[in-house]
Structure 1
């Protein structure tokens, strides 16, 4: 797939009435500061007929007048604090074309060719970039990149839906909440949970990653489709020993299965410890509840862990319970403990975030990003919902993305980066609990 870039320009917000001043800023919250300092890219594909590029361009400029943060820049205020400068310097807008049909390029498989469908993520001042790529059949690919310090997946998906609404001539149905100062520490701080080693670590423990190009080149991103029938059986099996009438969630059951399958495929040492980093949305967990319209980052991480021998020796419900309990622990008390810790201890103890964009190999651990509940598929520019939605190519070994399948039947697609040498073993067991359990028995 050869993509030809035809134009690249900066788009600025278009306001109704008098534009706001451009010397303001929004301070980054403790949740913004602890997340990944990088751009995240997603790709949409639409079948014809698609609206003209000018419709998407104008709609984007109008949406930016409501979501001004995206049109700003990261910077510092006069006190040296990290902020989003509301200077309206704009976003990058690229138009491109491909001399082939979408069908000839489909299915979009997780490979480096996807990188041509959106602008580069490196050394970018703009906080949002959009690339519109037209195919000869009239289909359209929309590559979107957004800086993670500005917004998490939930907030970003709300913005994308709003962009589509504006393109269709509609009012934005849910206006964003911009106030990032609502997360104040308590007068009497209480550090009820351990945050060093989870969200923060000592600067002394910061890794200097060696040149591992030969290892990175050996990483492949494998896409796995889990049918609704498979997921139902998996959920029933995972929940068979939990001792309550309430089953584990599909997410918990699937992550438990993948944790075991990938651990087995990696052939790890029996006494090694493995963990899974799972993002947890705080909007529904904080008390009082934070509105879904909150625009920014509001995510912390659950970190279930186990010895390899226990994870593989025990049946699926063991891993499911570890995940369920760890996620449940990231509750209102945990979020408020984090807010206190981030305000009172991080600077005092010279700590830095554990979220590390330079880490390309997570083994023996995993990290999972679930986009199962985000309304990404609701991005309609006027020609209907997308035919495909997927992450770009992120070859970080062990970094998984879970998405609802575009089939729309409740099935799930998982994007799983693994070493090439581990792929055959993973394929053998990822679709079959029977195969996995028989391998576990042979392991014993």
Structure 2
């Protein structure tokens, strides 16, 4: 279930970074972001990795050239991505649609896809080589909003990594943009779904008024060192297929049987991770669940809107309760937190941002999870077929991505970041939870992982 990677070292040769501008003239204007978009917690760059195998039908076509040409065309429709962010009074962010362009890097690596292992999943070797951080490009203000690197492999496959400024869009909006890009690489002249800006739909009311409880923005002192240091961190990937999910559901009380796969998996990870970290028993732990709120609005958010439309309500529990009570305790809290998100909740978040100066979410004792299994990352086809792996690569949040393993089973892949000593405890706790009846399917990989710690 957990995969330990043997070292793989390869060399990447990059062409100089270039700026790709829209293929046609675009409006020069200022477009304010919404008050959901520009909160502190979204002011970072999120990398997303897409890996493709060789396709004989594409002949000698260069994927970098194909994507570069399509990118210029898609930016005609999504021209704000070619602009730069400016900050005004009250830390309000606005896109200066200057047409300066997005960063693009063409590269090639002296490695084949097969060398990445039988199952291609994070953590990936040489990540910094697959996404070169162009000096001066990673600021939030006055910096490119997208950086794209296409790295060709010796086998004819390629790795596409996209780094986006999260204030511009969420996973849903990102998929919409990338779908448009894929459609144009395949010959379309116009995206099937046209982009909609209308960020005013998620701006604060006048006057702003906080009408809901937002524990995700609590100001909590770090009295016991609950914020995890990035030093000595270890990343491993865990696959949860039908067998593992069934094993977890054994612990679901009858009253909560209606829970979704996402909810039961989230509760299990929250509990196992807390036990692994061994925090103070009286501390509070927060599980923040990304909830797409598009369906909560009436009238609905327009089709084509690609801004951020999600909240992350917090399920909160004392450490002693989370570790000692049955799984149903964590599960009930997770399910309850998800139901908090309504149209009014989103409006209340926007108002809170204006009143409190756009605060970030609480770091102390917090773990954020996001379900992107339905976002269609694997289906994005730039002419080489579906991806063999696709998902965000960011350690602050646990992204649940769809994954098909060697056996052909469709399940959920979850990358976990923990201090090395805590990772060993996490693996052991998860092993105990899944139980001996999973021995043939799970234990061998666990033993392999533990032996390399």
- Tell me the TM-score normalised to structure 2 length: 0.83
Q: CA contact under 8 A between 2:53 and 2:157: conserved in structure 1?
A: yes
1:2 Cα deviation (Å)?
1.7
Q: CA contact under 8 A between 1:265 and 1:425: conserved in structure 2?
A: yes
1:140 Cα deviation (Å)?
0.6
What secondary structure is seen at the aligned counterpart in 1 of 2:16? strand
Q: Counterparts in 2 of 1:297-316, with a 5 A limit?
A: 297-316=308-327
1:85 Cα deviation (Å)?
1.0
| Alignment-derived partner of residue 127 in structure 2 | 114
Q: Deviations over 1:55-76 (max 9, x none)?
A: 1111111111111121111114
1:370 Cα deviation (Å)?
2.3
> Aligned pair count?
408
Partners of 1:137 and 1:94 in 2: how far apart? 20
Change (3 A) 1:352 1:172: closer
1:27 paired with 2:59, answer no
| Alignment-derived partner of residue 53 in structure 2 | 47
| Alignment-derived partner of residue 267 in structure 1 | 278
Q: CA contact under 8 A between 1:56 and 1:167: conserved in structure 2?
A: yes
Q: CA contact under 8 A between 1:235 and 1:249: conserved in structure 2?
A: no
What secondary structure is seen at the aligned counterpart in 2 of 1:411? strand
Change (3 A) 1:91 1:316: same
Q: Counterparts in 2 of 1:214-293, with a 5 A limit?
A: 215-235=229-249, 237-238=251-252, 240-242=254-256, 247-293=258-304
1:88 paired with 2:102, answer no
Q: CA contact under 8 A between 1:108 and 1:114: conserved in structure 2?
A: no
Q: CA contact under 8 A between 1:161 and 1:376: conserved in structure 2?
A: no
Q: CA contact under 8 A between 1:73 and 1:127: conserved in structure 2?
A: yes
What secondary structure is seen at the aligned counterpart in 1 of 2:163? strand
1:302 Cα deviation (Å)?
0.9
Change (3 A) 1:75 1:277: same
1:110 Cα deviation (Å)?
1.2
- Tell me the TM-score normalised to structure 1 length: 0.84
What secondary structure is seen at the aligned counterpart in 2 of 1:40? strand
Q: CA contact under 8 A between 2:36 and 2:203: conserved in structure 1?
A: no
1:163 paired with 2:181, answer yes
Partners of 2:161 and 2:204 in 1: how far apart? 38
1:314 Cα deviation (Å)?
1.6
| Alignment-derived partner of residue 381 in structure 2 | 380
Change (3 A) 1:21 1:330: closer
| Alignment-derived partner of residue 359 in structure 1 | none
- Structure 2 residue ranges without an equivalent (≥5): 1-9, 138-142, 437-453
Partners of 2:325 and 2:195 in 1: how far apart? 45
1:146 paired with 2:164, answer yes
| Alignment-derived partner of residue 191 in structure 1 | 210
Q: CA contact under 8 A between 2:244 and 2:434: conserved in structure 1?
A: no
Q: Deviations over 1:210-253 (max 9, x none)?
A: 9x99x5331001111111222134246335332xxx61111110
Partners of 2:125 and 2:154 in 1: how far apart? 22
| Alignment-derived partner of residue 402 in structure 1 | 400
More moved, 117-126 vs 247-256: 117-126
Change (3 A) 1:189 1:96: closer
Provide the alpha-carbon RMSD of the alignment. 2.7
| Alignment-derived partner of residue 149 in structure 2 | 131
Q: CA contact under 8 A between 1:162 and 1:172: conserved in structure 2?
A: yes
Change (3 A) 1:11 1:121: closer
Partners of 1:121 and 1:381 in 2: how far apart? 25
Partners of 1:143 and 1:2 in 2: how far apart? 17
Partners of 2:79 and 2:253 in 1: how far apart? 45
- Structure 1 residue ranges without an equivalent (≥5): 357-361, 437-444
1:179 paired with 2:193, answer no
